[in-house]
Structure 1
């Protein structure tokens, strides 16, 4: 049962959903000069950007993550950085802001919440 989908109608009246794009890391290529170019697959999503709760802040502090932090609720499952798995580096783009997906705070079969850090672009 997708509880997020059930509750989203009411939540959306208070905190509207945002059209955004998740750029899923798909590898690297080299340009003619030998410079590494990161490649992504773009996935259009609709989610909610929210401030972090105290528990989330403690979790990010334990991971030694600092900067401008937010939480993003989205239908579907996305991953965070996993050096052993060689995955991650995924980005969330909202308008002109680019957020790095640093951690998955909640993972359910149909939705997840992502810990984000605002990137300097």
Structure 2
């Protein structure tokens, strides 16, 4: 059963989904000078964007930091950066900006639907 599609149809009257591109991190390449350049696989999808609610802010440890944040529901698995596991660092592109996935809040159905916290970035990925 496609829960994201069902929920999206019900909530679209109040908060319609928007077109977005998920840039799923695939690691990085090492440049001749030794620096690293991240690599991504793009995936076009539709997402639901919401303001960050109080309950979501409680899950974020550094809530006093000034940043433009949103909660996003998307029909895919998305990962925040996890250096020990060497994964994540995914980026969502919507509203004409790049949004770094800074925390995974919930995930359903083995990656069929995710709720993530995103933070607007000042510059696009390389």
Band of TM-score, shorter chain: 0.7 to 0.9
Structure 1: where are the runs of 5+ without partners? none
Cα distance in 1, alignment partners of residues 22 and 87 from structure 2: 14
Cα distance in 2, alignment partners of residues 5 and 117 from structure 1: 25
Structure 2: where are the runs of 5+ without partners? none
Contact kept? 1:22, 1:43, Cα under 8 Å: yes
Relative distance call for 1:83 and 1:30 in structure 2 (3 A) is: closer
Ranges of 4+ aligned residues in structure 1 off by more than 6 Å: none
Specify the alignment match of 1:117 in structure 2: 119
When the two chains are superposed, the root-mean-square deviation of aligned CA atoms in Å is: 1.8
SS state at 1:14 partner = coil
Cα distance in 1, alignment partners of residues 93 and 51 from structure 2: 17
Provide TM-score, normalisation by structure 2: 0.83
Specify the alignment match of 1:58 in structure 2: 58
Specify the alignment match of 2:6 in structure 1: 6
Greater helix content: 1
